[in-house]
Structure 1
Amino acid sequence: MFTGIIEAIGTIKAININAQGARLVIATNILDMSDVNLGDSIATNGICLTVVEYDQHSYSADVSNETLERTGFAHYSVGMQVNLEKAMLASTRFGGHMVSGHVDGVCNVLSITNNGNSIEYWLSMPSDLAHYIAEKGSITVDGTSLTVNALSADNTKFRLTIVPHTVKETIFAHYQVGTKVNLEVDLIARYLERLLTKEKSAHPVEPSSNVTASMLQKAGFIK
């Protein structure tokens, strides 16, 4: 689990393609690797990757063909910069929102416009994800926790307003019109939809619990 608060900007050192997908080597730059162990998770442009090798200045991770197909990794190249965040600790300050590191889709940067000291980005809205994206709701773009500031009238694009600090601490400064970015919609919205639309089992199973409302009332849990 992650918070969407980027800790460092890394650089892709190597991409080694194989039959199973690819192995990436990421230079971590200022990311503190002192508490990283094999098997730990590091969100790389919003994608939860498992560390298979590491040293003080870099780590390696395997990327499956599934991940290559469903994320922007297929368009990445050596030398490209990526957002990095280590998995959160129980003691971590929750500055962003709940981010799983499971990318839902890829979209394009449509326009970039200065607005005072901030920058406005309009991004395309994948049709299968549009119902998850709400004005003033949370969204993750390349691993960065952000707020959706506006939706287009035809529901095909959304706007982000990025403040100078975020531009400095993430790869937003490198975005251009046409740049492909990874999207993760709000985790709560995704599970809420599942709860509201789940199909009933063809063979319902009777509850096995012996707990009843009267028992809970006697125990003081309900009135």
Structure 2
Amino acid sequence: MFTGLVQTIGMIEQRDRQHLTIHCPDLVALIAIGDSVAVNGVCLTATQITDTNFVADVSPETLGRTNLDDRRLKYVNLETALAVGDKIGGHFVSGHIDGVGILNEINLVGNSWELGFTAIPDVARYIVFKGSIAINGISLTVSYCNDLGTEFRVAVIPHTYENTTLKYLHIGDRVHLEGDLLGKYVEKFLKVGSLPTLGMPLPTITPEFLASHGY
């Protein structure tokens, strides 16, 4: 589990269909073999560590759902896993991205930046106005979205822009998107159906049902 607060920017030194070697001398001291590290928002496991680099294994599933095999991708956001008792300054980020979005707009507004993205429906349903979203592992707040959530914008302060890979993005670039974990559970609970292993019907969630249960 992560919070979406990027600790440093790493550089991909080597990649193949099974491994990523990431140069991050200011972070390796915090990583042990077997630790989870969010790499551009994707949860990977450190399998080798040197004084300046760590190596993470990647599976065909990971490469098929992310842009980590894109040879143009050089710099990545890095965050080590959340420890019990740590401050949660962003929001809960699992590192299991929902899909890839496209950057379609960059505007300088005052001294901050406004970035616009297109999202696929699998992600869009979790995007709400003033809700949280992780973009390349960065916890950001949605400043605008259309009714479907397929088009949305985020406002980015100078500190975040300069200390993450957002500053390297260009129009048309692909980014990793992860919707708010809480929204996914709410969606699951609101669905009408049954518990397949028990054959138990689930009640329909209505205003009357919530009122009768004290909400």
The verdict on a shared fold, with TM-score over 0.5 as the criterion, is yes
- What is residue 186 of structure 1 aligned with on the other side? 180
User: What is the RMSD of the two structures over their aligned residues, measured on CA atoms?
Assistant: 1.7
Alignment match, 2:130? 136
How many angstroms apart in 2 are the aligned matches of 1:50 and 1:2?
13
Q: Shift in Å at residue 4 of structure 1?
A: 0.4
> Could you list the runs of 5+ residues in structure 2 that have no partner in the other structure?
201-215
8 A contact 1:117–1:163 mirrored in 2: yes
Are 2:42 and 1:47 aligned?
Answer: yes
Q: Whose Rg is larger?
A: 1
Q: Which amino acid aligns with 2:150?
A: T
* CA deviation vs aligned residue, 1:125-181 (integer Å, no higher than 9, x gap): 212222210000000000000000001366431001111000111001001001100
Where in structure 1 are there 5+ consecutive unaligned residues? 207-223
Which string of whole-angstrom CA distances, capped at 9 and with x for unpartnered residues, describes residues 34-56 of structure 1? 23211100100000000000122
Q: Matched residue pairs, number?
A: 200
Q: Give the CA deviation at 1:77.
A: 4.2
Superposition pairs for residues 115-154 of structure 1, below 5 Å?
A: 115-152=109-146
Q: Distance in 2 between matches of 1:192 and 1:145?
A: 20
Give the distance between the partners of 1:42 and 1:202, measured in 2 at CA. 34
For the 8 Å contact 1:122–1:159, the answer to whether it is kept is yes
TM superposition shift of 1:73: 1.5
CA distance in 1, matches of 2:122, 2:157: 28
State the match for 1:214 in structure 2.
none
CA contact (8 A) 2:133 2:179 kept: yes
Under a length normalisation based on structure 1, what TM-score does the superposition of the two structures give? 0.84
What's the counterpart of residue 56 of structure 2? 61
Which residue in the other structure is 2:90 paired with?
96
For the residue of structure 1 that corresponds to 2:96, the secondary structure is: coil
Per-residue deviation, 1:205: 6.1
Q: Partner letter of residue 116 of structure 1?
A: G
| Percent identity (aligned) | 38
Could you tell me whether the CA contact under 8 Å between 2:95 and 2:137 is conserved in 1?
yes
What is the TM-score when the length of structure 2 is the normalising length? Answer: 0.87
Conserved in 2, the CA contact under 8 Å of 1:12 and 1:77? no
In structure 2, relative to structure 1, the CA distance for the partners of 1:154 and 1:93 (3 Å cut) is: closer
Q: Tell me how far apart the structure 1 counterparts of residues 116 and 85 of structure 2 sit (CA, whole Å).
A: 35
Distance 1:132 1:112 in 2: 22
Amino acid paired to 1:7: Q
